[in-house]
Amino acid sequence: MKNQRFIVRTLSYLFLGVSSFIMIYPVLFMALGAFTTKNRFLEADILPIPNTFNVTLFQRALGAGVWDAYVFTLQRCAFYIVITLFVGLLGGYIFSKLNFPGKNKVFLLFLSGMVMPGILMLVPMYLLMAWFPFFGGNNWLGQGGHGLIGQWPVLFVYGWVPPFAIFLFKQSFDMLPSEYEDAAKMDGAGMFTIIFRIYGPLLKPPIVALFIVTFLGVWNEYLWPSLTIAGHPEFYPIAYRIQSVILSDYSPVGTTDYPALMVRTFLATWPPALVYFLLQRYFVQGLVASGLKG
Amino acid sequence: MGGPLLTALPTHCPPLYRPTACRVQKDTVNTPPHQPVLSPAPLSPSQRFGRWYRRRRDAIVAWTFLTPMVIYFVVMTFVPLAFLIGISFTEWNIISPPQWVGLRNLKTVFSSFDNWFYPRVIGRTILYAVAILTLNIAGGFFVALVLNQSLKGKGLFRTMWYVPSVFSGAVVALLLKIYLAGSSIGVLNMLIGNFGFEPVDWVNHHVWMPIIGVLFVVWQGIGFTVIFFLAGLQAIDENLYDAAKIDGANSRQLLRFITIPQMIPVLLFISVTGLIGSMQMWEVPKIITAGGPNYMTYTLVYSIQNDSFAALDMGMGTAQSLVLFAMLLVFIGWQLNQYRQQHGV
């Protein structure tokens, strides 16, 4: 019996060690490759062994547009994180703690948004943006110009009512007893005070989970910007910008300066990884709690 | 917790309705109906408003904030959906005005046009989705089972399995493109060369490229599955296992009769979210193969993008979007129905 358990544990470690290594191998290869010289990289057997920190490569990549993309993408991340948390908390509170006619119907309406894959909406959303009134030469009917297409607000106007955030916060509010707010109400606290001062500190796990989800979502966004803002590199989010930055030096055949390419992918991928490493405890807690009960 | 005031609140109100229900209760306690009100002075309009506001406070507050949210949501979700349906009945290249063609686009999607081009796109997409979903769920469940033991460094392994999911699909696809480059000093060819294999032209290979595409999607999505399965496993009541062990169940029976039935809700959640994800393979065709070799990676989502924004045929793009939407709804409905039948709810 004891012998059998030992075997199971050993096999488990072996399996986990090998499989986890395979999972992170492509990314690890890239991260290590960013810190090697060209020749050393080509000598790699399984992983390239770092032997240099080539500042020039990093400077060149940052100067080629990565830095601008960092600034712009971080602005978008901040904007969407604030919107998501504010609307999510407000909506979650309304659906959880207030009682009013039509509540379940409106909640179902928002939930239906979670089933609809965003990818289906590409074409109609593109048209909605192209017909946006008063922008890009459009009249009040949205005709005559190209609307928001090719202008930076096109990356800021959608997704202000995030169904997933509302759902997650409703679930979290449901788990907190209403006695908290009754005491605050007697002291004359308004609704926003109740939401952000009383419940806010108690809702740290879902708030952090949504912070991460929103950050990753906005940071990694590629498809929508590639359709709507193409031709205006100063407004490219990082995932889209990095493509042109990489492909400028990439050739499918012949000698490619791989470390230079790895530096660029590294610059686009380290922030999501770092945010996840730092906050993953809350992430798992917050997401899983909602998903399993919903 | 709370002072005497809080504990004095009636506890028989259902928790969801407690704020309003309790307030009404308190008013009636203060002025019992059988005691006549001494001075029924007429209320001033402001008093009347005040009373109305207090009684309807929840509804007023809720709808004040919900109205803009609902309007925004409808404009951003259901208006595009209406566009989607409307445009699918037209032939339109964005520049000249749209022409009404009725069901022609939808018929083309299911017709033998161009040697069954579109049915083959759909079939290919379903095939890949099934492969992705199977690998994702089977693999994710196995890894979660292994991780669910008391092992040292479990958190590290879990993190390593999740890491691929935090990156932008487009950026890692770009990385994959660099790795797969065809020449003998392409990274992957260089690595397999170290073990004595001949270089392969991966991107133009009929067998390898679809497999790589499927594995890429699994690689990006499986961490999510593992985390959810793991949480589901940890939520199972230990007593169930103890009771079964006393009855002499072996470990295989424990898995078959306790673990798997208890995991059905998580399984349903994962299969619905996973299905939506696995039907949407687009990074590999868009960034690496352009649908090749010989349309082997030409998936439905790539076809939608290609027809809409490269061929400027909005009608065909939206018609295919509708087909994808309908397929997703049918699959999700079917899965929910299975779940209901098994659980009798």
Q: Which residues on A lie below 8 Å from B235 (Cβ)?
A: 292
> Is A94's CB within 8 Å of B65's CB?
yes
Q: pLDDT value at position B138?
A: 93
Provide the 8-state DSSP code for B43. Answer: P
Subunit contact B282:A243, Cβ cutoff 8 A: no
Q: What's the confidence (pLDDT) of residue B21? A: 43
Question: From the first residue on, what is the mean pLDDT of each consecutive set of 10 residues in chain B (345 residues)?
Answer: 37 43 47 57 77 78 89 89 89 82 85 82 90 93 88 85 89 87 76 82 85 92 88 82 84 83 82 83 86 84 88 88 89 81 66
The confidence score (pLDDT) of residue B5 equals 37
Q: Which of A120, A253, A291 sits opposite B183 (nearest CB)?
A: A253
A37: contact with B, CB 8 A cutoff = no
Handedness of CA B273, B274, B279, B284 (dihedral sign): positive
Which residues in chain A are closer than 8 Å to B329, comparing Cβ atoms?
115
CA–CA gap between residue A291 and residue A91 (Å, rounded): 18
Rounded to whole angstroms, what are the CA distances from B219 to A27, B166, B214? 12, 11, 9
In angstroms, the separation between the Cα of residue A254 and the nearest Cα of chain B is 7
ipTM given for this complex: 0.87
Give the one of B19, B161, B169 whose C-beta lies nearest to A97's C-beta. Answer: B19
CA distances from B222 to B140, B165, B177, B279, B295 (A): 6, 8, 21, 15, 26
What is the chain A residue with the closest CA to B287? A243
What does the pLDDT read at residue A180?
Answer: 78
The closest of B65, B114, B108 to B88, measured between CA atoms, is: B108
Q: Is the Cβ of A273 closer than 8 Å to some Cβ of chain B?
A: yes
CA–CA dist B97, B90 (Å, integer): 10
Q: Output the pLDDT for position A75.
A: 93
- 8 A C-beta contact, residue B224 and residue B162: yes
* Chain B interface disruption, residue of A13, A43, A123, most B CBs within 10 A: A123
Cα dihedral B125/B126/B131/B133 (nearest 10)? 110
Do A181 and A199 meet the contact criterion of CB atoms below 8 Å apart?
yes
Across the interface, of B70, B175, B269, the residue whose CB is closest to A291 is B269
Q: Is A74 on the interface with B (CB under 8 A)?
A: no
Count A/B contacts: CB-CB distance under 8 Å: 258
From the CA of A226, how many Å to the nearest CA of chain B?
Answer: 11
C-alpha–C-alpha distance, residues A185 and B72, integer Å: 30
Strands (E), B107-233: none
Judged by DSSP in three states, B254 sits in helix
The residues facing B100 across adjacent strands are: B90
* Cβ distance of A98 and B62 shorter than 8 Å: yes
Q: Which residues on chain B are in Cβ contact (under 8 Å) with A253?
A: 181-183
Do B84 and A246 lie within an 8 Å CB cutoff?
A: no
Residues of A in contact with B290 (CB under 8 A): none
CB B208 within 8 A of CB B192: no
Query: Which helix (H) or strand (E) covers residue B99, if one does?
Result: strand B99-100
The per-residue pLDDT string of chain A (294 residues; one tens digit each, 9 = 90 and over) reads 678 888 888 888 999 889 999 999 999 988 888 888 887 887 777 888 887 777 888 888 888 888 888 999 999 999 999 999 999 999 999 998 888 888 888 888 888 887 777 788 888 888 888 888 777 667 666 676 677 787 888 888 888 988 888 988 888 888 888 877 787 777 777 788 888 888 888 888 888 888 988 998 899 988 889 888 888 888 888 888 888 877 777 766 656 778 888 888 898 899 999 998 888 888 777 766 665 544
Question: In Å, how far is B328's CA from the nearest CA of chain A?
Answer: 9
A120 touches chain B (CB under 8 A): yes
Q: CA–CA separation, A216 vs A131, rounded Å?
A: 29
- Collapse the DSSP code of B90 into the 3-class scheme (helix H, G, I; strand E, B; otherwise coil) and give the result: strand
Hey, are the CB atoms on A123 and B84 less than 8 Å from each other? yes
Q: Tell if the CB–CB gap between A220 and B61 is shorter than 8 Å.
A: no
Sign, CA dihedral A214-A219-A222-A227, equals positive
Asked if A243 reaches chain B (Cβ–Cβ under 8 Å), the answer is: yes
Distance from CA of A74 to the nearest CA of B (A): 15
**What is the chain A residue with the closest CA to B60?**
A100
Q: Do A127 and B69 touch (CB under 8 A)?
A: no
Q: A252, B183: Cβ pair inside 8 Å?
A: yes
**Chain B residues inside the 8 Å CB shell of A16:** 143, 146-147, 151, 157
Q: How far is A12 from chain B (nearest CA, A)?
A: 6
8 Å CB contact of A243 and B174:
yes
Q: Which residue has the tokens 């000598």?
A: A43
- Predicted pLDDT of residue A292: 53
CB A72 within 8 A of CB A234: yes
pTM score:
0.83
Q: Report chain A residues whose CB lies below 8 A from the CB of B69.
A: 87, 91, 161
The C-alpha of B268 sits at a distance from chain A's nearest C-alpha, in angstroms, of 10
